[in-house]
Amino acid sequence: MAVKFKDYYEVLGVKRDATDGQIRQAYRKLARKHHPDVNPGDKVAEDKFKEINEANEVLSDPEKRKRYDQLGPNWQNGAEFTPPPGWGRVNVQFDDLGSIFSGGGFSEFFETLFGGAKPTGQSEHRRRGARTRSGRGQDAEAEMEISLEDAHGGGRHRITLQGTRACAACGGKGTTTSGVVCPTCRGAGQVLSPKTIDVNIPPAAREGSVIKVGQHGQPGTSEPGDLYIKLKIKPHSIFTVSGDDITAEVPVSPSEAVLGTTIEVPTIDGKAEMKIPAGAQGGQRLRLRGQGLNRRGGGRGDQYVRLKVVVPTHPTDREKQLYRDLGEASHFDPRAGLEK
φ, ψ of residue 68 to 5 degrees: the values are -65, -45
Q: Is 328 helix (H, G, I), strand (E, B) or coil?
A: helix
Q: Quick one: 49 or 109, whose CB is closer to Zn ion?
A: 49
φ, ψ of residue 51 to 5 degrees: the values are -60, -40
Out of 142, 182, 213, 250, name the contact with Zn ion by CB under 5 A: 182
Give yes or no for residue 23 binding Zn ion (CB under 5 A). Answer: no
> In the complex, what is the shortest distance from the CB of residue 78 to Zn ion, in angstroms, rounded to a whole number?
33
Q: Is 317 helix (H, G, I), strand (E, B) or coil?
A: helix
Give yes or no for residue 185 binding Zn ion (CB under 5 A). Answer: yes
> In the complex, what is the shortest distance from the CB of residue 177 to Zn ion, in angstroms, rounded to a whole number?
11
Question: Is 12 exposed, middle or buried, given 0-12, 13-18 or 19+ CB atoms closer than 10 A?
Answer: buried
Q: Is residue 12 within 8 Å of residue 30, measured between CB atoms?
A: yes
Shortest CA distance to 307 belongs to which of 261, 269, 244?
A: 261
Out of 107, 120, 160, 184, name the contact with Zn ion by CB under 5 A: 184
> In the complex, what is the shortest distance from the CB of residue 44 to Zn ion, in angstroms, rounded to a whole number?
25
Neighbours of 81 (CB within 10 A): 19
> In the complex, what is the shortest distance from the CB of residue 37 to Zn ion, in angstroms, rounded to a whole number?
13
> In the complex, what is the shortest distance from the CB of residue 184 to Zn ion, in angstroms, rounded to a whole number?
4
Q: Quick one: 185 or 229, whose CB is closer to Zn ion?
A: 185
Element (H, E) at 20: helix 20-34
Neighbours of 237 (CB within 10 A): 8
CA distance 97 to 293: 41
Q: Quick one: 26 or 182, whose CB is closer to Zn ion?
A: 182
- Among 15-23, 76-84, 159-167, 267-275, the segment contacting Zn ion (CB under 5 A): 159-167
- Among 72-80, 128-136, 161-169, 276-284, the segment contacting Zn ion (CB under 5 A): 161-169
Out of 79, 169, 180, 210, name the contact with Zn ion by CB under 5 A: 169
Going through the chain in order, the beta strands assigned E by DSSP cover 3-4, 80-81, 140-146, 155-166, 190-201, 210-213, 227-233, 239-242, 245-252, 261-266, 271-276, 285-288, 303-309
> In the complex, what is the shortest distance from the CB of residue 173 to Zn ion, in angstroms, rounded to a whole number?
7
- Among 63-71, 179-187, 280-288, 324-332, the segment contacting Zn ion (CB under 5 A): 179-187
Binding mask 113-152 for Zn ion (x = CB under 5 A): ----------------------------------------
Site residue total, Zn ion (CB under 5 A): 6
Give yes or no for residue 167 binding Zn ion (CB under 5 A). Answer: yes
Using alpha carbons only, give the angle 183, 197, 120 rounded to the nearest 5 degrees. 65
Out of 170, 231, 248, 276, name the contact with Zn ion by CB under 5 A: 170
- Among 96-104, 124-132, 170-178, 203-211, the segment contacting Zn ion (CB under 5 A): 170-178
CA distance 227 to 63: 24
Q: Quick one: 79 or 169, whose CB is closer to Zn ion?
A: 169
- The contacts of residue 257 (CB under 8 Å, 6+ apart) are 276, 279, 280, 281, 282, 307, 309
- Among 85-93, 169-177, 195-203, 227-235, the segment contacting Zn ion (CB under 5 A): 169-177
Q: Quick one: 167 or 305, whose CB is closer to Zn ion?
A: 167
> In the complex, what is the shortest distance from the CB of residue 183 to Zn ion, in angstroms, rounded to a whole number?
8
> In the complex, what is the shortest distance from the CB of residue 165 to Zn ion, in angstroms, rounded to a whole number?
11
Angle at which helix 62-69 crosses helix 43-59, to 10 degrees, equals: 90
Give yes or no for residue 100 binding Zn ion (CB under 5 A). Answer: no
Shortest CA distance to 10 belongs to which of 54, 46, 45, 42?
A: 54
Residues near Zn ion, by CB under 5 A: 167, 169-170, 182, 184-185
